[in-house]
Amino acid sequence: MAQVHPTAVVHPGARLHDTVEVGPFSVIGPQVVIGAGTRIGPHVVIEGRTTLGERNHLFQFCSVGAAPQDLKYAGEDTELVIGDENQIREFVTVNLGTVAGGGATRLGHRNLLLANSHIAHDCIVGNEVLLANGAALAGHVTVEDAVKISGLVAVHQFTRLGRYAFISGGSMVTMDVPPYCTVQGDRATLVGLNTVGLERGGFTEEQIGRVKEAYRILFRSKLGLQEALAQLRGELSGHPEVEHLVRFVETSKRGVTR
């Protein structure tokens, strides 16, 4: 049996693995599924159709799976899916999806959500993402792997953050942030590459060199965007790190931060 503190309230319909721990005064709803090795601290609320994977750690006072903060939401059967080995710190809020946004909010593996951060409805968050204190993702935001979002950042709805991007503290992000890039300011603008993140992520010197050249062509040359993309396809095609950047820019709907 799961180790449930006597003061916790766990609905009989909830499904908890035998190795789950639930702390004092926590509340777990009827549609919740929690995987092996997950620890639920005191005063945590998990509700809605929420699935938690294995070895997650939810700290005190966080709220996971609550109804979306969307006036159009009328109680539809939507869900929140969270992967493995995530840390969800104090006062974090993660909401269910909405029908209009595909019906699900999704969070991958090994993410760190620091105190008071927020993930709204229909967000898709990858793996090894950091949301620092007070960072907030509006609805329908997509965050690729290994993005670092500093404190007090606000990300506009429907925005995408590319893999290994770094968002500086206090930034207001209203357009897509290209992979590998660093942005800052209100409204956020490009200030360079996240080379430290790339090095820590295991990119080789050759890969980082190609990313630097792609950045130069896209954002520091006098070429128009389509001309720059064509030059990248001609000169640096066949390299996955550059092809990912090109696809990201080509598929942007909100426009790319420059």
CATH number, span 198-251:
1.20.1180.10
pLDDT for the residue 1: 83
The one catalytic residue in 121, 140, 156, 244 is 121
> Residue 196 in 3-state DSSP?
helix
**For residues 194-205, average pLDDT:** 97
Q: Is the pLDDT of residue 199 over 90?
A: yes
The topology under which CATH files domain 3-143 is UDP N-Acetylglucosamine Acyltransferase; domain 1 (2.160.10)
> Residue 125 in 3-state DSSP?
strand
Q: Residue ranges of the domains in the chain?
A: 3-143, 198-251
User: What is the C-alpha separation between 127 and 144, in angstroms, rounded?
Assistant: 7
In the 8-state DSSP scheme, what is residue 203?
Answer: -
Known active-site residue 134: no
> Residue 151 in 3-state DSSP?
coil
pLDDT band at 248 (very low <50, low <70, confident <90, very high): very high
Q: Is the pLDDT of residue 158 over 90?
A: yes
Q: What is the pTM of this model?
A: 0.97
Which of 202, 125, 120, 198 has its CA nearest to residue 166? Answer: 198
The one catalytic residue in 134, 139, 151, 162 is 139
pLDDT digits (tens, 9 = 90+) for 113-149: 999 999 999 999 999 999 999 999 999 999 999 999 9
Contacts 24+ apart (CB under 8 A), 218-221: 218/178, 218/245, 218/249, 219/190, 219/258
Known active-site residue 139: yes
Known active-site residue 122: yes
1 versus 78: the higher-pLDDT residue is 78
pLDDT digits (tens, 9 = 90+) for 65-114: 999 999 999 999 999 999 999 999 999 999 999 999 999 999 999 999 99
